[in-house]
Structure formats: structure tokens, C-alpha cells
Amino acid sequence: MKTAARPRQPAPAPAAPPPEAINRDLGSRVRHLRTARGWSLESLANASGVSRSMLSQIEREQANPTLAVTLRIARAFGLSLGELLEMPGAATTVNVIRAEDHAYHYRSDKDCRIRTLSPLNLEKDIEFYEVRLQAGGALRSSPHFEGTREFLTVQKGRVRAESAGDAEELNSGDSASYRADVPHALINAGKSEAVMFLIVIYR
């Protein structure tokens, strides 16, 4: 007579790292990310809303930050909480930039609003923006690095794109590309708000 097979037991979950290990790794991780970007502690404090003294203590492993503080630091780097802590099980493969996330509002005034649509932790060879220009508004730029080009698609309104001495008017649905290593500008040529998507490629 065959004996009944014993039900398989689920594999035990891997033990969670002790809090002191997380704090130690967090301190070195924050310091590495900050220095890799060329940021000072003051720059990171401004980007995250976490005080300079707290960030210094975290990097020196002298503080036990709350989850909220750690999340604010992660968002300043354009990372999820799991990515900052380098915990694969906590990371997601889908990175979301919420419309109301002011960390991605690059510029906002009465004439122009620019929102970053690409993750802040990407290498700066490609940048993706939503640009909104009010009637009469303009976005004028000095030359970028040699070889830089911009790719523009107008979603709404009428826009005049200028690059060096050349200019073209674009309507809703039109796209254009142009040199951005010379003086260039985007000008609202209509009577209502213009909305466009802008990709900057550095070479």
C-alpha cells in the first residue's frame, strides 16, 4: 500500500534584514547617490524637504529616519522606496510620475509651466517635458551642449518654434525637430493656452 504523499510545505520567506543593516546601507546609498549627482547636502535638503542636519546624520548612520523621511529622500532622487533601499521585493517595475507631484514641476509662473515627465534618476542624455504657454508666453533658451536637438509635438494651440535664424509655426498635432545648440525659443502664437510635449536629446 502506498502511503499518502505529505503535502509540500511552502519555502520559508527570507529573513528581513535587521533595522541597523537597513540604516547602514541607507546612509551609504544616500551618500553615493548624492555625490554621483554632484549634489551638496544643501541641494538634497532643498530637493527632499529633509533638513541638512538630518541628512548628514543619516549618511553618518547616526539617525534612524522614519518611513516618511526615507520616502521623501527617495522621491528627491526619482526612485521608489524599494529602489533606494535596494530591496528587490519592495521595488516595482512601473515608475509613476503623478500629475500633482511638485517635485517634477520644473518651472511654474504666469506665462509658462514646465513639468518633467521623465524620471529624475535617468542619465541626462534624454529629457521629456510637458510645456504649457499662456497667450503671449515664450520659452527662450540659450544654446545647450553641442549636438543637442529638441523634438516638439503640439497638443493644443499654435506655437512658433525658432532655432537660430529659422522659424516655423506649428498647429495642434504638428511636430518639429530643430537644433538646440544655438539660441532657440518656443512662442505661443495663438490667443489661448498652448500645450506641447518636448524631448531634449543630448549627444
Is 178 within 8 Å of 200 (Cβ atoms)? no
pLDDT at position 54 is: 92
Facing residues of 85 across strands?
none
Question: Between the CA of residue 147 and those of 163, 184, 201, what are the distances in Å?
Answer: 13, 14, 9
Sheet holding 126-133, edge to edge: 105-108, 112-116, 126-133, 194-201, 149-156, 175-179
pLDDT at position 125 is: 75
pTM for the model stands at: 0.58
pLDDT at position 50 is: 93
Q: How far apart are the first and last CA of the chain?
A: 74
Percent of the chain's residues with pLDDT above 70: 81
Least confidently predicted of 16-30, 70-84, 90-104: 16-30
Q: What are 167-184's pLDDT values in tens digits? A: 999 999 999 999 999 999
Q: Which has more confidence, 157 or 60?
A: 157
pLDDT score of 2 more than 50: no
Least confidently predicted of 5-14, 83-92, 120-129, 138-147: 5-14
What band does 16 get if pLDDT is binned at 50, 70 and 90? Answer: very low
Q: What are 86-124's pLDDT values in tens digits? A: 654 444 566 777 787 776 788 888 899 999 888 765 656
pLDDT at position 23 is: 56
Q: Which has more confidence, 74 or 25?
A: 74
pLDDT score of 33 more than 90: no
Q: What are phi and psi of 95, to 5 degrees?
A: -95, 125
pLDDT at position 6 is: 47
Written as nine digits, the cell of 19 is 533595522
For the chain, which domains are there?
19-90 (1.10.260.40), 104-201 (2.60.120.10)
pLDDT at position 18 is: 46
Q: Is 152 exposed, middle or buried (0-12, 13-18, 19+ CB in 10 A)?
A: buried
Q: Which has more confidence, 133 or 4?
A: 133
